[in-house]
Amino acid sequence: MTDAGALGADEAGFIAALRSGDPARFALVTERHRRELQVHCYRMLANYEDAQDMTQETFLRAWNKRESFKGHAALRTWLYRIATNVCLDFLDKRNNRTPVPSELPDSASEVLYLQPYPDRMLPEDPQESVVARETIELAFIVAVQHLPPRQRAVFILRDVLGWPASKAAEVLELTVASVTSALQRARVTMREQLPGRRLDWRSPATHELSSDERGVVKSYIDAHERNDLDALMSLLRDDLSFAMLPEMGTVRLTAKEAVDGWVSGGLFQRGHDDWRGITTTVNRMPAAALYLRTPDDPEYRLFAIAVLHIVDGKIAELTGFDATGQPWLDLPPAL
């Protein structure tokens, strides 16, 4: 859809809804954009619950500003403008949305507010650039958080969504020169945060898990269910990047250090040694949902979700999240 020329069906339907003054009709027209706007907010904020709230705030602002829509820009562009500014306002008020440098010398900066994104809430169109796997993976989301908020918005609009500089400048009320300068600085930071990763975010990216990835997740779950530390260690790269959120930030560990940490943390000790797991995906990444049964409970209760980045058949990055009390993950609460 282009911004010029005759109104598209989306815009015509929206203007008709505005003229009707019917909020239900307004919601029906705008609802189709909810999922992609929520992904946009998630990239800005790295927190699923915050993204949900800010998407809802976007629709509230859109309703309150509905008379300002004249059809000169695409409805989608207008909604992205509102969503972007909603997130920027949120970040201005919440300075803890900036990564906190860790005191550990070998660790990455911490993004303790990071939450996984359930794949079922991604836009349904697999061809949409907003759901390209490499732009929703946890490492990418964390790297984006190291950009200052307005620079972050420029980077997402330009390099993820592929908007021209003039369109991004209009949305952010900046000059084209300012947008170009911010994008150059953002790209430098992203290269520093994601060394060795593909940085052409607008190129097609694989969406489906490979058989290799599925096999590693199965083996990871099997090692937990059998309390097999040797098997677990064999799945980990020696330069593993490990995080357990929100308790700790990201640290570089050897495979042995990671396994020793699991043991010292009590996860394979009596009372924490009866596990079941199911394979799932979040952020279009392979993941294992882990369920624990304690001695006095007949059921396995959802305990944690481990999100894995797998390279050459080994786990290179493991990010664990507390999964209790998180119904939006859409996982069975018990097995």
Strands of 314-322's sheet, edge to edge?
Answer: 251-253, 236-245, 314-322, 301-311, 285-292, 275-282
How far is residue 55 from each of residues 52, 80, 195, 273, measured CA to CA in Å? 5, 10, 32, 40
Strands 314-322 and 236-245 turn out to be: parallel
The candidate with the shortest Cα–Cα distance to 284, out of 123, 155, 162, 161, is: 123
Question: CATH number for the 9-193 domain, one of 3.30.470.20, 1.20.140.160, 2.40.37.10, 3.20.20.140?
Answer: 1.20.140.160
Q: What is the pLDDT of residue 105?
A: 35
Q: So what's the pLDDT on residue 6?
A: 45
Domain boundaries defined on the chain? 9-193, 211-329
Confidence at residue 66, expressed as pLDDT on a 0 to 100 scale: 80
Give the model's pLDDT for residue 96. 54
Return the pLDDT at 101.
Answer: 43
Tell me what pLDDT residue 3 has: 40
CA distance 146 to 109: 8
Name the β-bridge partners of 240. 253
116-127 pLDDT, tens per residue?
999 989 887 644
CATH number of 211-329: 3.10.450.50
Q: What pLDDT does residue 93 have? A: 86
The string of pLDDT tens digits covering residues 53-78 is 999 999 999 888 887 777 667 888 88
Whole-structure pTM value = 0.85
Give me the average pLDDT of each 10-residue run along the chain (335 residues): 49 70 76 92 96 96 83 82 96 67 42 89 65 84 94 95 93 95 95 78 63 95 91 92 76 79 69 87 94 91 94 93 91 93
Amino acid at 215: G
Q: Which of 170, 277, 304, 257 is nearest to 216 (CA)?
A: 277
pLDDT of res. 264:
65
